[in-house]
A and B are shown apart, each in its own frame.
Chain A
Amino acid sequence: SQQGEEDPQALSIQEGENATMNCSYKTSINNLQWYRQNSGRGLVHLILIRSNEREKHSGRLRVTLDTSKKSSSLLITASRAADTASYFCATGPNTGNQFYFGTGTSLTVIP
């Protein structure tokens, strides 16, 4: 399987704190994407970082990518209760159109 892994599997923080999730993957990639899933729903795209980028920001989201370590991190700053969800990283190989997701981090933000 080419599925990646997120770490930690579960994270619980107080509202206002920052949340950091990590993703490790196995293949060479063109880009890495992060998605969010509310309970029982489909996934929603958050941010894409290309293999030649090291850091990217979008609102309260900050993503880093280290291709030498095959890892990425997602930082959510000043978390809100509405950020409670599962977060997944996704990668595709350099060739072909497969699209693989990690195992996910379940984030709970306590009001």
Chain B
Amino acid sequence: DGGITQSPKYLFRKEGQNVTLSCEQNLNHDAMYWYRQDPGQGLRLIYYSQIVNDFQKGDIAEGYSVSREKKESFPLTVTSAQKNPTAFYLCASRSRVNTEAFFGQGTRLTVV
């Protein structure tokens, strides 16, 4: 089945730790995105990538890092520099500009 997969579904992080959220798609999409969603809020763009080995910062990139070494993979690392990382993280992909985006089911990150 074609789709976009995020893992894990739930993730717990101790303060001061880096954690990496996985996002994999087998849709052959060029563009991939990471969004953060806080309770009752909209989606805020963290990073996006249009092609392999290229990515750009969104509105709230501080404390996050990404890589795009393969077309199908766009992992997000939440670093210890992110002071308030507890949130719901959503990954999306789309084939090109002006088309619909496909979303994963999200990863809920909690700092303990």
Residues of B within 8 A of A92 (CB): 97-98
User: Interface size (A, Cβ < 8 Å)?
Assistant: 29
Interface contact A98-B102, CB-CB below 8 Å: no
Q: State whether the Cβ of A45 lies closer than 8 Å to any Cβ in chain B.
A: yes
Interface contact B42-A99, CB-CB below 8 Å: no
A-B contact count (CB 8 A): 68
Q: B6's closest neighbor in chain A, by CB?
A: A42
Interface contact B59-A1, CB-CB below 8 Å: yes
Interfacial residues of chain B within 65-99, with CB under 8 A of chain A in the complex:
88, 90, 92, 94, 97-99
* CA A40 to CA B90, docked complex, whole Å: 10
* CA A90 to CA B41, docked complex, whole Å: 14
User: Interface size (B, Cβ < 8 Å)?
Assistant: 30
Interface contact A101-B103, CB-CB below 8 Å: no
Interface CB pairs A-B, < 8 A, 28? A1-B44, A3-B42, A3-B44, A3-B59, A30-B97, A30-B98, A31-B98, A33-B101, A40-B88, A40-B108, A41-B105, A42-B6, A42-B90, A42-B104, A43-B43, A43-B90, A45-B100, A45-B101, A48-B100, A90-B101, A92-B97, A97-B50, A98-B56, A99-B92, A99-B101, A100-B45, A101-B42, A104-B41
Which 4 pairs of residues, A with B, have the shortest CB-CB distance?
A: A42-B103, A103-B42, A45-B100, A101-B43
